[in-house]
Structure 1
Amino acid sequence: MNIERHPWIRLAVTSVAAAFVTLASFAAPAAAQEKVTVFAAASMKNALDNANKAWSAQEGRQVTVSYAASSALAKQIENGAPADILISADLDWMKYLSDKKLVKEDTRFNWLGNRIVLVAAKDTANPVDIRPGFDLAGLLKGGRLAIGEPNAVPAGKYGKAALEKLGIWSSVEKSVASAESVRAALALVSRGEAPYGIVYRTDAAADPGVTIVGVFPADTHPPIVYPIAILSESKSKDAPAYLDYLKSARAAPFFEKEGFIVLK
């Protein structure tokens, strides 16, 4: 049959070809939407956002991050939240998931370190000598001490441990304003709702509304370690490459710039 002599057949063939082109145009972006989903401690935000922008620009791959307290993230993962990688602000919550077989053990790595500091609103306080028995209650003057929830949020746990070691937890316990994450505790100080707070050094550096008035000695609390691992239910083919990138010399400057210590 000569198609040229039957215009209606030529039209049908053209329409089918166009349909295939249209379907192909939808299929291509879908394949390109492969991404890595990361659950990360709230204190990671500035450094991790910058590192992710660089990786996406260099590799053409996407990263989506949910930031919250490590305790909240671990519970979400336990309850089935879809994620590929967890970055916890302490070893306990990573172990919590590891014990439940929710972590790929061969990918688990102690990645970063940090310090906890005492902060106050910008230009409102003098330097504080943090030593055994120092009068934190007197500094508060009836105000609140902003801190991550001391029994769950890693920064709060470290802060409580330090104050107990220094012998002053009992004097300020009733003045504690527990926050859902370290960034929430930081915001209370930055907004002037609490005169002092205990946060990570990296968080203090990220908020121009606060100033560091003292650094807690490292021997007053357990070592601050940020472990990272791929989760057992990860479906992303890009997760191993992304993990390797974060652990590489290419990514290290983004975290060192914010005050993190890259562990060897």
Structure 2
Amino acid sequence: MTRINRRLGAAAVAVLAGLVAAPLSAGAQSKEVVVFAAASMKNALDEIAAGWAKASGKPAPKISYAASNTLAKQIEHGAPADLFISADLDWMNFLAGKNLIKPDTRVNLLANRIVLVAPKDSTASVAIAPGFDLAKALAGGKLAMGNVDAVPAGKYGKAALEKLGAWNGVKDSIAQAESVRAALLLVSRGEAPLGVVYQTDAAADPNVKIVGAFPEDTHPPIIYPVAVMKDSTNADAAAFLSYLRGPAARTAFEKQGFTVLVKPSSGS
């Protein structure tokens, strides 16, 4: 009986081990996709991620939002990401130059515009045109912008103001923020009378209003590229990228004011 009991015990252990191993294996196959995305994408991408999880039955992607330069530097230093969506070409090119992306997965996903915003109850009226007096419109206050040397929205904004001849008049009155959403918050809270943000950011915050749009020929094209990271081993990364190119994602992006650049895919 002792020998039989031992055999039964061993068999039970083997069965239990199999039962435990099976869910772990399934869990490994359904590991959440880690996405590093430009801060300006939050509203649209949160909706898209939830939709993909519901449609696929997979865990919702884990998304980290920050300025594109911050995210690119984190990836450079080993932060684990499956997908990176940048708010400009420069920071994707930065990672590509370090051989950190899968080149065949890279695609230009979206386009955006930069606008001048004010608190919703502001009476500011600004006509954006060559030589316009932005300093006068600030009336001694600060102009909120993303960091003009690193944050894409800040770089675009500085380029536009230089092209329009307004930069020198306001360069000493810039409140530089760590991301475009941080710059938006300064205006939303009334801490800055004006700010330069993306059109999509303005649409996402009911506490601000657009008082002017920068002509698109005053700055480099605002393009959002996406790519799978070279070290990603998550098979769902490609599936989520396909979903980003599909009709459901297109609807969410356009609702937030983005222009979708990719042709529709079968992802949904």
TM-score normalised to the size of structure 2?
0.91
Give the superposed CA RMSD: 2.0
Alpha-carbon distance in 2 for matches of 1:246, 1:122:
32
**Conserved in 1, the CA contact under 8 Å of 2:124 and 2:137?**
no
Alpha-carbon distance in 1 for matches of 2:95, 2:237:
18
Task: Give the corresponding residue for 2:54.
Answer: 57
- CA deviation after TM superposition for structure 1 residue 125, in Å: 2.5
Larger radius of gyration: 1
Alpha-carbon distance in 2 for matches of 1:25, 1:156:
49
Alpha-carbon distance in 2 for matches of 1:170, 1:192:
24
Would the alpha carbon gap of residues 165 and 24 (structure 1) be closer, same or farther in structure 2, given more than 3 Å must change? same
Summarize deviations over 1:178-234 as a string: whole Å, max 9, x none. Answer: 000000000000111111000000001111111111111111111100001111111
Counterparts of residues 59-208 of structure 1 (less than 5 Å):
59-62=56-59, 63-208=61-206
**Conserved in 1, the CA contact under 8 Å of 2:30 and 2:236?**
no
Would the alpha carbon gap of residues 6 and 239 (structure 1) be closer, same or farther in structure 2, given more than 3 Å must change? closer
Runs of 4+ more than 6 Å apart: 5-11
Residue 40 of structure 1, aligned match among 26, 37, 41: 37
- CA deviation after TM superposition for structure 1 residue 28, in Å: 5.6
Counterparts of residues 4-23 of structure 1 (less than 5 Å):
12=9, 16=13, 19-20=16-17, 23=20
Alpha-carbon distance in 1 for matches of 2:115, 2:82:
31
Look up the equivalent residue of 1:56 and give its one-letter code.
A
- CA deviation after TM superposition for structure 1 residue 14, in Å: 8.5
The unaligned stretches of length 5 or more in structure 2 are 263-268
Task: Give the corresponding residue for 2:253.
Answer: 255
Alpha-carbon distance in 2 for matches of 1:207, 1:241:
31
- CA deviation after TM superposition for structure 1 residue 249, in Å: 2.2
The alignment partner of 1:117 has SS state of strand
- CA deviation after TM superposition for structure 1 residue 13, in Å: 6.5
- CA deviation after TM superposition for structure 1 residue 23, in Å: 2.5
Task: Give the corresponding residue for 2:221.
Answer: 223
Alpha-carbon distance in 1 for matches of 2:109, 2:207:
29
Summarize deviations over 1:95-144 as a string: whole Å, max 9, x none. Answer: 11111111111111111000000000112134421101111101111110
Stretch deviating more after TM superposition (232-241 or 49-58): 232-241
**Conserved in 2, the CA contact under 8 Å of 1:125 and 1:213?**
no
- CA deviation after TM superposition for structure 1 residue 18, in Å: 7.3
**Conserved in 2, the CA contact under 8 Å of 1:74 and 1:94?**
yes
- CA deviation after TM superposition for structure 1 residue 33, in Å: 4.4
- Percent of pairs with identical residues: 59
Stretch deviating more after TM superposition (118-127 or 193-202): 118-127
Alpha-carbon distance in 1 for matches of 2:146, 2:232:
29
- CA deviation after TM superposition for structure 1 residue 245, in Å: 1.1
Alpha-carbon distance in 2 for matches of 1:245, 1:41:
18
Alpha-carbon distance in 1 for matches of 2:57, 2:158:
43
Alpha-carbon distance in 1 for matches of 2:10, 2:77:
51
Alpha-carbon distance in 2 for matches of 1:109, 1:6:
64
- CA deviation after TM superposition for structure 1 residue 30, in Å: 3.2
